[in-house]
Structure 1
């Protein structure tokens, strides 16, 4: 077993050496040009991460990229990814001229891609959806938490709406709903279930799809302290009063009315949604209440038999 592990380690080192340094070219003066430091991904492509590179001239990058592209193409590599920090933004134009395209950008970097074989490219596209939440929060009197916003679509419309927001990176839907309610109204609440979700296409930058989850929360505190920067007003309101707002009956607002009616049915215990059955730092599972009860019964039976 020890010999096998040693051989595998040697093979890995040889592959790494060939990938990074083994394929070189000569410049006009006969000097050796090393490849860009790239790591092979699971799909036969190369990922070049320059986030730790403090500096690189356009000339040096141009020469290394030429040599690297030739090597990678000869090796049969497919998708090439280059992650450029904003400190090296001067290199973007060089990559674009060699066939790279923008994939996505974050505050600290831009990701460029190139597909070496004949098209079509099978590289995954940039994120196509944005996740939003709306929080249906009930108090002990059966009233729901509603707000009016300082800006956005509902500004100056005199419309009361549920607290809403977008999910942050690495945040679960249920956690985002709890956070948004706390930020906008200072109300502490516990997640109950996902009531419904809605898709809106070409809703973000007239290109991306917005998925909006309606979550039920149960309030554990009741004194409202609104967020002045975003919220014009906030209060507890009878569910029927919220549903019967004139806004919900105007043409084009059918989706808002459907969601309002779901909230009304849920307040009368005539509607069930999806509860959180499994939650971990990286994954959350939501399912119907009936199925969740079945899972709990199975788990109880298993623990009893131990």
Structure 2
């Protein structure tokens, strides 16, 4: 009678196999009456119809439950990027054990398809999956307020996944009225706090914001003055300026459309219209090589001896939205008319 029992090792390791599931159910539910007790090992005895059947049923149910959970998620949903990789945006909660199984199956599948980089966008509510991803070889690429981007390189070759954005963009606004007075501010915070230095309104370009829009916005926020963007006069690049990132700073020329000043008290201590000569004569300005270059450029523009770069709305074959190309519009018109 014992020879008719399925081998335990095959039964438990093959619970996913329909043949063994069917055989097991037939054994349990049909008329093979086994002896009431059977020895397992040396000293342990269990009733076949009660404990043994319960052990088998529990193992099958547990195995089928895990199987169903993996099948429900199958492989991670992904889209192809333009460089031979895939992008995954997770959203549904998943326990770590199941997630690792699905992740490994997905990476194996992508490897068979000769995919390279894997990008996984992890929303903040799935933060519990960060540790499993890191343990599987993923690393941080960048973070935003609502998600963390992790990446993985499948091939044995060196990774060609590009680094996170390397620069931030700032603007400084040269705003001059008809009296040759420039709009200047004293800052309530930052490096110039408490120095008494008067400077151009400055700020950081926001995500998705154009340089020309940012310059007008910063002037309005800091001083309350409305203005119109004219040109980019010059720009400066520096490195390791903000959390190890580089910085691009654009000096912009704007035309004032109003004159009344209303300072933003949170960041700005004071603001006023000041004769350009008085602004340029400040000791701090005189000792700064960079600021002296900027002042010389502004003076050349005032004298009509310098032409900056004006924004021209344009489009591309690669993007649907409009964007600005900054160019010397006067020189371009002269070239086209010749």
TM-score normalized by structure 2? 0.75
Q: Which residue pairs with 1:99 in the alignment?
A: 137
* Residue number in structure 2 paired with 1:17: none
C-alpha contact 2:280 2:286 (8 A) present in aligned 1: no
Contact 2:313 2:322 in 1 (8 A): no
Aligned length: 268
- Structure 1 runs not aligned, ≥5 long: 1-24, 299-306
Residue 83 (structure 2) aligned to one of 30, 43, 59: 43
In terms of Rg, which structure is larger? 2
| RMSD, matched Cα | 2.0
User: Residues 128-277 of structure 1 correspond to what in structure 2 (within 5 A)?
Assistant: 128-205=166-243, 207-250=244-287, 253-277=288-312
| Alpha-carbon separation, structure 2, partners of 1:279 and 1:233 | 38
8 Å contact from structure 1 (residues 243, 264) kept in 2: no
Distance 2:162 2:142 in 1: 11
Instruction: Report how far residue 260 of structure 1 moved.
Output: 2.1
Question: Contact between 1:239 and 1:267, CA under 8 Å: does it hold in 2?
Answer: no
Counterpart CA distance in 1 for 2:290 and 2:282 is 14
Task: Please say if 1:83 is aligned against 2:121.
Answer: yes
**1:202–1:208: 8 Å Cα contact kept in structure 2?**
yes
Deviations 1:212-258 (A, max 9, x none): 000000001000000011100100011111111100233xx211221
**Aligned counterparts of 2:303 and 2:194: Cα–Cα separation in 1:** 31
TM-score w.r.t. length of structure 1:
0.83
- String of CA shifts for 1:103-157, please: whole Å, max 9, x gaps: 1010000000001012311111110010100000011211100000001011111
Query: Stretches of 4+ moved more than 3 A in 1?
Result: 279-282, 294-298
